[in-house]
Amino acid sequence: MLRYILLASLMGAKGLCYAQLRWTNVDSLFQPLPKSVHVYKTTEQLDGKPNIAYYISADLADKDLVFTVDTTLQRRLTPSQFFEKNGQPLLVVNCTFFSFETNQSLNTVIKDGKLIAHNKSVAGKGKDTLQYHHTLNSVLGISKKRKADIAWVYSDSNSRYALASQFPFRSFKSGNFQLSQSLLGPFLNDTAYNFHQSKLQKWKMKTAVGGGPVLLQNGDVQITNNEERKFSGRAIEDKHPRTAIGYTADQKLILLVVQGRSTGLAEGATLTQEAVMLKDLGCVEAMNLDGGGSSCLLINGKETITPSEKGQQRPVPAVFMIEKKKVAE
C-alpha cells in the first residue's frame, strides 16, 4: 500500500520547490497492531536531500487505545527503558524539551487530568542577563471525550488546571524567574502588545504534552516560533532530526519522526518542511516536539528512525505513549 503526498516548502526568494514523497505502509514490520493504527515510511528525497521518515496514524475514537504519558523524577530514561517500565506499550515517543542540568521537562505534561510538569521561563542573555523571557508555550491535549486540541498554555505548580488560549501571544520580559498569574494578568490585558484579545480558559485535558513551536493552525502552515522563542534567527530552516505531533479533521492522531544528522543517508528536515509534511498528511493542527538527539519513536519496542547520537537513544524525562487497553481477566 502506497500513499503519495505533494510536499511544498517555502524556499525564501527562490519561491516554491516541490518534491514528491511516497509513503509506504509498513504495518507488517511492527505487528501486532490494532486495526485503527497504521505505520508509514518514506525514503524519498526531501527537496533533493536524502531522507528517512516515519509516521503513525492512530484513531482517537478507538476506545481500545489509551493515550497517556510517563515522566521521571529528577532523572531521565531512554524510550526503551520507558517501554519496559510501562509494561511494553504499543508506542513510545519522546516529547518535551528539557534541562540537561536538572533533568526536568521545560514544558507542560498532563497525566490522568493532573499537571505533572510545567512550562519554564527562559533566562535572558547578553544585555538581558537579569531578565527572563516568559511565553505561553504550545501543548497538545486529548480530552476525556478523546478530542485533540493544540493551545498556548500557562501552567504552574499552584494551579490545578492549565490555562489555555487558542491564539498565540508574544513573549514578554521581566525580572521575575517564575511566570505567575499576577504577572501574566496585565500583559494579557495589554491589547496594544498582543494581537488577539483572548481570556485564558481552564484547559481540562486528560493527557497532554508540550513542546513547540506550533506548525499548523486551521490546516495552514503558521509557525509560532517568534511567539514561543524556541529557535533564534533563521534556525527554523536548519535541518535536524524532528519529532512532531498533530491531528486530522476526523480525529486521527499523527506522530511524525524524521531521521537526521547522517550525511548521505538522512539529513533531517527544517521546521517549514516538517510543517508542510504534516499539512499534506491531513493535519489541521500540529506542533513540533523536542528533536535532534532526542528524536525516537518505538512501535512495539522496535525503533523506527535511528537516533542521531551514534545510534544510541538519548535519555529523556518524559514520553508520550499509546497503550492497548487491558482486558479484564
pLDDT digits 0-9 by tens, 165-199: 998 888 777 777 777 777 777 666 666 556 555 67
Continuous segment of H or E residues that includes residue 10: strand 2-10
258 pLDDT tier (thresholds 50, 70, 90):
very high
Does the pLDDT value for residue 114 go beyond 90?
yes
134 pLDDT tier (thresholds 50, 70, 90):
confident
Given this model, what pLDDT does residue 9 score?
Answer: 39
Given this model, what pLDDT does residue 3 score?
Answer: 54
| Closest listed residue to residue 253, CA positions, set 32, 31, 37 | 37
Rounded CA gap, 255 and 145, in Å?
A: 20
The verdict on residue 56 lying in a domain is yes
Show the cell assigned to 124.
535572558
**What are the strands of the beta sheet with 162-165, ordered from one edge?**
114-117, 109-111, 207-210, 137-142, 148-154, 162-165, 201-203
* Mean per-residue pLDDT of the chain: 88
Does the pLDDT value for residue 10 go beyond 70?
no
Rounded CA gap, 256 and 144, in Å?
A: 24
The verdict on residue 96 lying in a domain is yes
The verdict on residue 19 lying in a domain is yes
Rounded CA gap, 211 and 214, in Å?
A: 8
The verdict on residue 240 lying in a domain is yes
The verdict on residue 211 lying in a domain is yes
List, for residues 39-63, the tens digit of each pLDDT value: 999 999 998 999 999 999 999 999 9
pTM of the predicted model, to two decimals?
0.91
The structural domain count of the chain equals 1
| Closest listed residue to residue 296, CA positions, set 276, 278, 320 | 320
The verdict on residue 329 lying in a domain is no
Given this model, what pLDDT does residue 178 score?
Answer: 74
| Closest listed residue to residue 111, CA positions, set 155, 157, 66, 68 | 68
The verdict on residue 230 lying in a domain is yes
The verdict on residue 210 lying in a domain is yes
Across 154-159, average pLDDT: 79
Q: b/e per residue, 81-116, with b = 16+ CB within 10 A? A: bbbeeeeebbbbbbbbbbeeeebbbbbbbbbeeebb
Residue 28 structural domain:
2-324
Q: Count the Cβ atoms, other than its own, within 10 Å of residue 80.
A: 15
Does the pLDDT value for residue 299 go beyond 90?
yes
Most confident of 24-38, 129-143, 183-197: 24-38
Show the cell assigned to 143.
480530552
